[in-house]
Amino acid sequence: KKGGSKNIDGENPPSEGRQLLPEFKTQLSKLKFAGEVLVKEWVLSEDNVSRKQHDVIIPSKILNRQGFLTEEQKQEVDMEVPLLVAFLGKFTVNLRKKRHKASYGLTDWIRIMDKYKLTQGTQLQLWAFKHEESSQLGFALIILTQEKVPAANF
């Protein structure tokens, strides 16, 4: 394994001690999304930015432990979910249950990487949240460190 890729999936809740950017939390509230939990924080490694990496992997125990998936959602193998890129844009991606069922993959990683010119060494956070009314699962990608990021309409 090359670089500094890491999943946050220890015994303590992954969001302990971490807060979502206040400005972005306000934006999520306006969209009626709440209950955000940090599911992954990592620095992009050489492997993460290779054209072979198609999904962002999320350990299923994080989503299950935090109660983000309803029983019906747990049975789905592939579901569309929104992915908000903080202050930059929105994608519709799929959350796919991996064959071994110990993890999920968020699709379209290459498209997101290309759009925001993500490179090796960029530090990211991935947060999960739910819609207050529909219980729809959603994700937010926060780019913590990077030289230049193209602006987009949100």
- Residues 13-66 pLDDT 10s: 344 568 888 888 888 888 898 888 898 999 999 888 887 878 898 988 888 876
Q: What is the pLDDT of residue 141?
A: 94
Most confident among 48-52, 75-79, 119-123, 147-151 (mean pLDDT): 119-123
pLDDT digits (tens, 9 = 90+) for 79-99: 999 999 887 888 899 999 987
Beta strand residue intervals within 30-136, DSSP E:
33-43, 56-59, 78-85, 89-97, 103-106, 123-131
pTM summary value: 0.79
